[in-house]
Structure 1
Amino acid sequence: MREVAFIKQNKEKWLDFEAVIFGKAKKNPDEIAGLYIHLINDLSYAQTYYPKSKTVVYLNYLASQIYQRIYKTKRHEKNRLLYFFSEEVPLLVYQYRRYVLYAFLLFFMFVGIGVLSAMYDDDLSRLILGDAYVNKTLENIKDGDAVAIYKSGSNWGGFFAITINNLRVGAMCFIMGIFGGIGTFYVMFKNCLMLGSFQYFFYEQGVFWESVRGIWIHGSMEIFAIVIESAAGFILGASILFPQTFSRINSLKIGFRNSFKIFLSTVPFTIAAGILEGFVTRYSLEMPNWLNVVIILSTLFAISFYYLIFPFIVAKKLKSIPQIA
């Protein structure tokens, strides 16, 4: 059968599936399961005879959404929050894994640009970090405490101020994706440039290890979360630029809903980073080296496992779910 005839023959049925996905039609779990079986058959046929067609992408998406609706219905009665973090977000991260990859590639590239720029421009650190911060930090380095600036203020005051700022930065990385991803690109570039020049500044002053011991206690989760939030912004932008077989407005609705869930999942990590910065970082130089290393590696492993490894475990466990390539 020619693809045009295949689409014409099944178009009305697929529109019914869309109505279920977008909540325009009500069906019980058994009826949805029946739709899912029909859809899998159509998907298998399309993958066999039109493997490079947009029809496959479209049916792939419908099948994954129908499956999640079936599974979600079964799990809602148990614990919605547990389902959100243990399956819904990991499946979304797996589904959009290429955007996570893009975000990390850009992160390392932009940080590298920041390091190289600071290396060849002595004034860059002052331009980006500000004279007040640089001068104060230079005084602290002379006094033997490179990260003393993180000890100012109270524990709770520092925690609230830092967490609110980090949430704001993360929200900007995400929501600026509405401008086709360009806004997210800009916010990410600015923050990565700052990070690169910031770390080179400490390296240049001969206190790189002292800065790592202190800053990356909270920085591991804080910076990693910003990369994931940037990936969410790129997903949002891509939903506008590349609607595929959907109307642009429906593509935006889907992209916003899915990317917002990924962004929302970073909030606990950002709060945890704020707690560490407010209550632990200030004692970093008094701690033994091994304890600093353990905290840094533990926090980095926790967030890396959740976003880079766990999605593949969940997807493999639910291997019957079709995934968007």
Structure 2
Amino acid sequence: MREVAFIKQNKEKWLNFEKAIFGKKLKNPDELASLYIQLVNDLSYAQTYYPKSKTILYLNNLAAKAFQKIYKTKREDTNRFVHFWKVEVPLIVYEHRRYVLYAFILFLTFVAIGVLSAVYDDSFVRLILGDGYVNDTLENIEAGDPVAVYKSGSDWGSSIGITFNNLRVGITSFVLGIFGGLGTAYVMLENGIMVGAFQYFFYQEDVLWESVRGIWIHGSMEIFAIVIEGAAGLMLGASILFPKTYSRMISLKIGVKNGLKILISTFPFTIAAGFLEGYVTRYSNTMPNWLSVGIILFTLSLITFYYLVYPFIVNRKIKKAYATL
């Protein structure tokens, strides 16, 4: 059968199936499963007879969405909030995991640029961090407390101010993704260069370890969240630039919806980072090394597991669930 005839023969069925997947009203789980089996059969046929066709890309994407929808319909938690964190977000992260990788590559590249710029330009650190911050920190280093700047202000006041600022950065990074991802890349550029110059400054002053054991108590989750928010912004940009088989408007809607869910998922980590910066980091120079390092490893492990490990676990469970359909 020619591909044109194959598409014409099944087009209506695929469109009806697409409406069932993306529509607000869900079909009966058994009916949806039956449609899914037909879709998989069509996908298998297309892979065999039209291996280089865009039809395969369309059917494969539709099958993946069906996979998620059937799993949700059959096994969704009665608690929608729990389901959002346990299944929905991890699945979206898994599906768009390449953008998480791109975000990390971009951010680490910008960090390296910040370090190298500080190495070869003595004025670069002051340009990025500001004379006031650098002068105050130099005085604090002389006084034996390199991270004393984090002790200014009240616990709750610092925590709230820092949290709102970090939330603003994350939201801005995502929203600017609408410019083909370039706006998101710029936000990551600013933050990456700042982190690189910042850490090199402490290295240059021979207090790198003191800064790490203090600042990264909150920085582990704060910076990691910024990278994930960057990934959400890149997803948004990609939905405009690369709509695949969708119209650009439908692709944008899907990109906004999925990216927004990932953005929201970072908020608890951002809030936790703000709490740690306001209430814990200020005491880093008085706590033993094992405690500060333990907090850093715990916070880093927690957010790393959720975004880099757990999505693969959820995806594997869903594959097993599909095998029983």
TM over 0.5: yes
Q: Is the 8 A contact 1:137 1:149 kept in 2?
A: yes
The Cα shift of 1:25 comes to 6.0
Cα gap change, 1:111 to 1:321, in 2 (>3 Å)? farther
The answer to whether the 8 A contact 1:39-1:59 is kept is yes
Gaps of 5+ in 1: none
Give 1:166's aligned amino acid: N
Does the CA contact (< 8 Å) of 2:235 and 2:255 recur in 1? yes
Structure 1 residue 320 displacement after superposition: 5.5
Of all paired residues, the percent bearing the same amino acid is 70
Which residue of the partner structure matches residue 134 of structure 1?
134
Instruction: Give the gaps of 5 or more residues in structure 2.
Output: none
Q: Quote the Cα distance in structure 2 between the aligned partners of 1:291 and 1:115.
A: 28
Alignment of 1:140-219 (within 5 A): 140-219=140-219
CA distance in 2, matches of 1:239, 1:253: 8
| CA pair 22-163 structure 1, distance change in 2 beyond 3 A | same
- The RMSD of aligned alpha carbons is 1.5
1:313 alignment partner in structure 2 = 313
- TM-score for both structures, normalised by structure 1: 0.95
Q: List aligned pairs for 1:1-325, cutoff 5 A.
A: 1-23=1-23, 27-76=27-76, 78-319=78-319
Superposition TM-score, scaled by structure 2 size: 0.95
Question: What is the deviation of 1:26?
Answer: 5.3
CA contact (8 A) 2:222 2:269 kept: yes
Q: Is the 8 A contact 2:163 2:271 kept in 1?
A: yes
**How big is the shift at 1:74?**
3.2
User: AA paired with 2:114?
Assistant: G
Runs of 4+ in structure 1 over 4 Å off: none
1:2 is displaced (CA, Å) by: 2.6
One-letter code aligned to 2:78: K
The residue identity in structure 1 corresponding to 2:203 is Y
Task: Tell me if the contact between 1:167 and 1:270 (Cα under 8 Å) persists in the aligned partners.
Answer: yes
Cα distance change of structure 1 residues 317 and 25 upon mapping to structure 2, 3 Å threshold: closer
CA–CA separation in structure 1 for the residues paired with 2:297 and 2:104: 18
Query: In 2, Cα distance between the equivalents of 1:151 and 1:206?
Result: 21
Task: Work out whether residues 103 and 230 of structure 1, in 8 Å CA contact, stay in contact via their aligned partners in 2.
Answer: yes
Distance change (3 Å), C-alpha of 1:212 and 1:158: same
- Conserved in 1, the CA contact under 8 Å of 2:71 and 2:318? no
Q: Which amino acid aligns with 1:175?
A: V
For 1:160 and 1:50, locate their aligned partners in 2 and report how far apart those are by CA, in whole Å.
57
